[in-house]
A and B are shown apart, each in its own frame.
Chain A
Amino acid sequence: MRNHLIFLLLLLCSVEFMGSGFQISLQGQPQIGMAHAGTAVPLNAAALFYNPAGMGFLQGKKLMLGINPIYGRVEYLQLSTAQRGSNEFGISLPFSAYYTQRLGPAGAPSRFTVGIGVYTPFGSNISYPEDWMGKFLVQNAILTTVFVQPTISYNVNNRISIGFGVVGGYGNFKIERAIPIYGEEGYGTAKLQADGTGFGFTSGVFIEPWEDKLTVGVSYKSSARVNLKGGDAEFNVPATADILFPDTKFDLNVGLPDALSVAVAYYFDTKNGETLPDKSNASLITFEVERVGWNIFKDLNFQYADTVAATTSLKLIRNYQNTYRFSIGGQYVAAKRLTLRAGAYYDLNAAPDCCATPETPDTKRIVGTVGLTANLTSRLNLDLSFLYGRGLERKTVNTQNNFETTMKGYVITPGIGVQYSF
């Protein structure tokens, strides 16, 4: 029944739509099912992302894989000119893969757990009809990031652990927009694309002040600067204007935000007696607040290698502001082999009214999530999650472009993953 519902929803309305800035918090289906509240619960190998200290409560070796296709739709209305616009069908496919392993022999495990994760923490993939009203801001924008994160955690004692990881990131972006240089054939276009790398770290603390009843987690993921060097700028303009728009190279430096998460989880009595260290067999409820330091994202400042239209740079002002996400989530162990989850969160917009652009549609959001884990065998778990988010109506005027719109949107993200323990 559930699968039918999901399928029906996807048929009805599919595209893609992002949230706070261009952050994707889709890591680990169980955590997604609880509204991304994973900082205080060391459920599985995705703890490496949510709170590396949580890794200290994972036993043995764990492998976790997951994908979360994002479908979203955003509608725009420009009141002054009575025009409408919306994005075109598109899917982006964030994925994640985590591996953790407790060091030492199985009989006498050490206090160290190591792990590595490969995941896509930021991204955006949006396209609009070629001739839409915002074409001089953006026609297509694709941002892909892949982070690799080797991580280690240390159990100070049975109730406290700490963790630290190093993050190496690769980023690739492409943006296409119309430029108001007209020939007989109409307006011109600009295509800017580049890739680059950056580095950061992640860290966390996990405490269990009340054994098997209450856990607290704090994690901090550092900001990162991605240096995009030697990107390609291609301009398609009328031949007689070519001399003003030479194809050229550009450099760009993009700041990615830091994130501070604080969470607490309360556990109900477990059915099967003893609560596992990773809490995966306990019914629980968890609250989490996350602050994302989006104010690092001030502008996109393209520095051209040649003179383009009598200038050598293009500065797109963004002036993002820090955002807060408030999550509540829980899981219920319905049967020995079945765990159900649900959650909801409220998230603020990163783009201020002055600087919102259709590149990354951004509104306050209310999001609901559900999920389940089925223990197929004692070692293999199947995880499903489903997220539905509603972007609240928002009127903005981008002052640099004098682009006025009222927008709202929704996002639908099913997710599937597997966990293997050995």
Chain B
Amino acid sequence: MNIRYTFLSCILCFFFVALTNSCELEMELPEATPGTGNFARYLAVGSSFTAGYTGDGLNLDAQLNSYPNLLAQQFALVGGTDINQPYLPEGNGSGMYRLLGVTTDTCNNITPNLQKTSPDPNWENNVSSNGPFHNLGIPNLKVGDLNNGIMSILNGYLKRVVPSGTTYMELLEVTVNEIQPTYFTNWLGMTDAVGFAATGGGYTDNTPVSLFSLTDTLTFAANYEQALDLLTANNAQGMVFTIPKIFDFPFFTSVSYQAKGPDSCDHRLDIYITASNGIRKATYNANSLYNDLILLPAGAVLGRLDVKNIDGVDSLVPYGLSAANPLLHHHVLDRNEVQSCVLAINAYNRAIRKAATMHNIPVIDTNEYFTTLKKGTAYNGIPLNMTFISGGFFGLDGIHPHDRGYALLSNFFIQKIDSIHQATIPEMDISRFSGVVFQ
């Protein structure tokens, strides 16, 4: 009978399908391809961000997590090779912040308890014989000082990798000749802005320090172009990165322009600052482009009782909360200094774009990433934003990313490389990186 056969064949057919299909779930993974890119020999130049600097220092672990090293690991999937970096010996390196815990006050304000490890005594020992290095990221080195021989003495990080008296530019030229890079990244210029901004406009306490001053635009443009000449001398491919809006970073946003009062959470106290035009109250105006910024290190010492001699009488005066004991210049970037720095960054970025265009090298606007981060984003379930400690991107100095932050930046760069070169380089699994570690 028809129905019988239909039924029996249905049932047989069902078991056939179930049996033959049941375990085949494997999905094809597209092959990693370099596209039009040649990643055989990679060279990275830049400053602290390129070195892997984090927690206001550098050690071996941080170097291993530098974005050039992370990128090289992914380049290795499409024909790249391992890179050599000027590694520090295992240990504390130049000394870095550690997070010992947090305290919360009655107003639910969370204060991190940070401690800096002491630098290894021999961290500045010269390792130039281990070169050539594929990562020439030198912390605290300004584009303005690329041709300045004295930096090989003043800058401990440069001192490690060059013979005394050698300039960064000379190091770069030798390295390019030795490595013959096929691909480079260039994130020079960060220190020219950050060095000034993070020192309250180029100060130690209230003393101006020329090392931290803003680089003049002409010197920046000339030096930057010279570096790019060297990088592209052998027709290497590459990309250059702009200087982002650093004033969104937690170093500049974590401490309010007002302090918490002693009695209630709503009671706010004025903060007195040493501004470029004298001692005054810090102000904030939502409609103003530039506002006074209290820097992150000030947060830990704000309200500390110092002995001050007022009218011949020694009295205890809270730091930053009285005109008699204002924040020192290096703890605040006043609105005029913010303005100078913003204008300088704009000029530097114009110079970067101009040099890159001349050399036909793509420019990656790093603000694209930081704008997303500021709005708040996530990666495989890890929430990310620009908040200090809990934001998931920035490390303990509030300026530099931690290992996860650098990995996220690397993924952003890989997306750019993939689109520029029609490549399919896999991104990194962000959950391998721990970010801030509670000790």
Contact = CB atoms under 8 A, between A and B. Distances in A.
Contacts of B431: 133, 135-136, 180, 187
B121 interface: no
Contacts of B11: 340, 342, 370
A9 B22 contact: yes
B100 interface: yes
Contacts of B19: 5, 8-9
Given A79-B30, A402-B380, A184 B4 contact: no
Contacts of B6: 332
Interface in A107-142: 133-137
Contact of B18 (A86, A309, A408, A412): A412
A268 B3 contact: yes
Interface in B60-104: 99-104
Given A80-B427, A81-B427, A241-B101, A340 B25 contact: no
B269 interface: no
Interface in A382-422: 388, 390, 393, 400-403, 406, 408-410, 412
A13 interface: yes
Contacts of B108: 307, 310
Contacts of B428: 81
A409 B25 contact: yes
A136 B429 CA distance: 13
B390 A241 contact: no
A13 B23 contact: yes
Contact of A310 (B18, B377, B390, B437): B390
Contacts of A86: 25
B275 to A, nearest CB: 32
B29 interface: yes
A368 interface: yes
Contacts of A8: 19
B174 to A, nearest CB: 37
A243 interface: yes
A342 B7 CA distance: 7
Contacts of A2: 15
A187 B434 contact: yes
A74 B429 CA distance: 20
B27 A388 contact: no
A5 B22 CA distance: 12
Interface string B124-151: 0000000000000000000000000000
Interface string A182-198: 11101100000000000
Nearest to B11: A370
A14 to B, nearest CB: 10
Contacts of A78: 380
Nearest to A404: B380
Contacts of A187: 431, 434
Interface in A70-88: 73-75, 77-84, 86
Contacts of A340: 7-8, 11
The residue in A81, A181, A309, A334 that gathers the most chain B C-beta atoms within 10 A of its C-beta is A81
Contacts of A133: 380, 429, 431
B439 interface: yes
A237 B23 CA distance: 38
A9 B22 CA distance: 8
A186 B434 contact: yes
A322 interface: no
A272 interface: no
Nearest to A331: B7
Nearest to A12: B23
A237 B101 CA distance: 12
A131 to B, nearest CB: 8
Interface string B394-436: 0000000000000000010000000000000011110100111
A198 B18 CA distance: 38
A408 B411 CA distance: 26
A244 B387 CA distance: 15
B426 A80 contact: yes
A18 to B, nearest CB: 16
A182 B14 contact: no
Contact of A402 (B21, B378, B435): B378
Contacts of B23: 12-13
B129 to A, nearest CB: 35
A238 interface: yes
B101 A403 contact: no
A390 B21 contact: yes
A283 interface: yes
A378 interface: no
A262 B35 CA distance: 54
Contacts of A369: 14
B286 interface: no
B22 A13 contact: yes
B97 to A, nearest CB: 14
Contacts of A241: 101-102, 438
A240 interface: yes
Contacts of B313: none
Contacts of A330: 7
A414 to B, nearest CB: 11
Contacts of A82: 29, 32, 426
Contacts of A402: 377-381
A93 B383 CA distance: 35
Interface string A8-43: 110011000000000000000000000000000000
A268 B3 CA distance: 10
B101 A412 contact: no
A305 B90 CA distance: 45
Contact of B378 (A80, A184, A400): A400
A368 B14 contact: yes
A393 B21 CA distance: 14
A402 B412 CA distance: 14
Given A75-B25, A180-B392, A340-B7, 11 more contacts: A8-B19, A9-B18, A9-B22, A80-B426, A180-B435, A187-B431, A240-B100, A240-B102, A241-B102, A340-B11, A388-B17
Interface of B: 3-4, 6-8, 10-11, 14-15, 17-19, 21-23, 25-27, 29-30, 32, 99-104, 108, 110, 377-383, 390, 392, 411, 426-429, 431, 434-439
21 contacts: A9-B18, A9-B19, A73-B25, A77-B27, A83-B429, A133-B380, A182-B434, A182-B438, A183-B439, A187-B434, A240-B438, A241-B102, A243-B102, A309-B390, A340-B8, A370-B14, A388-B17, A400-B378, A410-B22, A412-B18, A412-B22
